[in-house]
Amino acid sequence: MIPKDLTNDVKTRLKGIKGQIEGLLKMLDEDKAPEQILIQFKAAQKGLDKAHYLLLDEAYRKTLAIKIVNAVDKCPGNCGNEDKIEYIKKEFPNLELNDLTSRLQEMKEIEERLARYNSSSETSD
């Protein structure tokens, strides 16, 4: 559903965080100073927050834009989804990050309906 090239940065960051978490486990096993452990925890949390933001703002937002464009291209104006597509298209610039997942799900459902609509249109021609 999400193009793989849009998640590369997120995956790279998560791999780095994985290393930080492994370092934390080692620090706990080695009984390092509490201050050092806390600093490492904060760094891992900051990295996770940044990866989360990248996932939402880059990968999900770009994916939604692609899906909107594809839906507009596939809907000839009488597909039964044009109002919903237009609504999401107009709403897109103002979407909050937390709304992206629900809009992606809506676009997935619209894509499925458009696929059925277009395949039934082709068979009736």
Domain ranges (residues) in the chain:
4-124
pLDDT classification of 117: cutoffs 50, 70, 90: confident
What are 97-108's pLDDT values in tens digits?
999 999 999 999
Closest alpha carbon to 24 in 5, 13, 38, 10: 38
- Whether 60 has a pLDDT exceeding 90, the answer reads yes
Q: How many C-beta atoms surround the C-beta of residue 54 within 10 A?
A: 18
pTM metric for this prediction: 0.82
Residue 61 is inside which H or E element, if any? helix 61-74
Output the pLDDT for position 54: 95
- Whether 79 has a pLDDT exceeding 90, the answer reads no
What are 16-55's pLDDT values in tens digits?
999 999 999 999 999 999 999 999 999 999 999 999 999 9
CA distances to 8, 27, 55 from 60, in Å? 13, 35, 6
Output the pLDDT for position 76: 75
